[in-house]
Amino acid sequence: MTAPLIMIGAGHAHLVAIRDWIRQGYQPPSGSVLITPEPEAWYSGMMPGLLAGRWQSEQCRVALGPLCHAAGISLQLDSLISLDADQRRVQLASGKALNGELISLDCGAGNPAPPHNDGSLELVGAKPFGALYRRWQHWREHGAPARLAILGGGAAAVELALALQRALPGCQLTLICASALLAAQPPRAARLARSLLADRGITLQEGHLVSCIDSGALLTEAGRAIEADALILATGAAPAPWQQNSGLATDSSGFIQIGNTLQSQSHPRILASGDCATLPGCPHSGVYAVRQGAVLGPNLRTLLAGDSALQRYQPQPRALALLATGDAQALACYGPLALRSRLALALKDRLDTGFMRSLQQAGGLPAQDQRPIV
């Protein structure tokens, strides 16, 4: 079977593209399909607030069935295990195979783990968020690990640490990062974050590269042992194993190389966006993925119509970063500036809830009460 369009993954860019098609009254050709393993898409921007108890889960996710139905797209709950780029053929975990005239990939990325692991620690990835949320629920109901380590030094790792400290007050938390904390943000942001972590009783191990998990301890390259009962991986993005074997052009890390039209550099009938792809000047961040979606939708529509006048996505040189700090404030970073305030959290809430409301309305879903619980 050959589908006119195969969309793999329900990442931010795909959600924006589908939402915009619904708003414009456009439906892709019959037989177009979205393939993703979960029936709902979680919004990562609200993840820290959910874990900290500010949001209910219904406020942070959107049902894909109604959204796809409104766009005339078939929803297939399955996982991609391999892609033959030359044949534009996808192999799914269910055993099904499907060819596509046009393929769009927005399937996210995993979390890099220490290269050597003896299995003595419970490992939980920060991505995909649904799995982390289910593990968090289990900890809340059955008891959290006494010692919980978080590996990573970026915004997601800091937000997770501060949120979990509030959600699991009896848990001893350690944040471990291989380089400087919040290295991609202004120095003042890192200073504010260090102060917050210390005030909340979270141990920060900065500049420690973990190379091995052995006998319930994280071993660093310097020979230090950090004991823990469970480890959350918030270590950035790692490409799926199938990407390097797909025939698509990838960078040295295995991410799909794309141009400004979001087309694969080697296979123009395959597009990629979000964390699975790499484009110069475009970090792996939800802020950039959402803006890619505004270009992806029109470009898929143009290619499906047989035209070639494609829009170009140009990553913004600076993006506002808003980090939830597990309380009534947020840390705002823009260029060299950083500040923590209630106003920053109010702005973050407005942006996050507005995005979720737009998806729910596009799918004809009842609008959720978008006020925080606390």
Fold classification of 116-233 (topology level): FAD/NAD(P)-binding domain (3.50.50)
For residue 334, count other CB atoms closer than 10 A to its CB. Answer: 15
The pLDDT score that the predictor gives to residue 349 is: 97
The pLDDT score that the predictor gives to residue 147 is: 96
Residues forming beta bridges with residue 332, ordered by sequence position: 322, 339
Q: What CATH number has the domain spanning 2-110+238-319+345-362?
A: 3.50.50.60
The pLDDT score that the predictor gives to residue 236 is: 84
The pLDDT score that the predictor gives to residue 1 is: 74
Q: b vs e for 128-151, b when ≥16 Cβ sit within 10 Å of the residue's Cβ?
A: bbeebbebbeebeeeebbebbbbb
Q: Range(s) for CATH 3.50.50.60 in the chain?
A: 2-110+238-319+345-362, 116-233
Could you give the C-alpha distances from 124 to 111, 112, 129, 280, 326, in angstroms and in order? 9, 11, 10, 30, 20
Nearest Cα residue to 305 out of 101, 99, 104, 22:
101
The secondary structure element, H or E, covering residue 50 is helix 47-51
Angle between helices 155-167 and 129-142 (to 10 degrees): 20
Say if residue 128 is preceded by a cis peptide, omega within 30 of 0: yes
Distance CA 124, CA 144 (A): 13
- Could you report the average pLDDT of every consecutive run of 10 residues in the chain (374 residues)? 95 98 98 98 95 94 97 98 98 98 96 91 91 92 94 97 94 96 96 98 96 94 94 93 96 96 99 96 90 98 96 94 96 97 98 95 74 65
The pLDDT score that the predictor gives to residue 368 is: 59
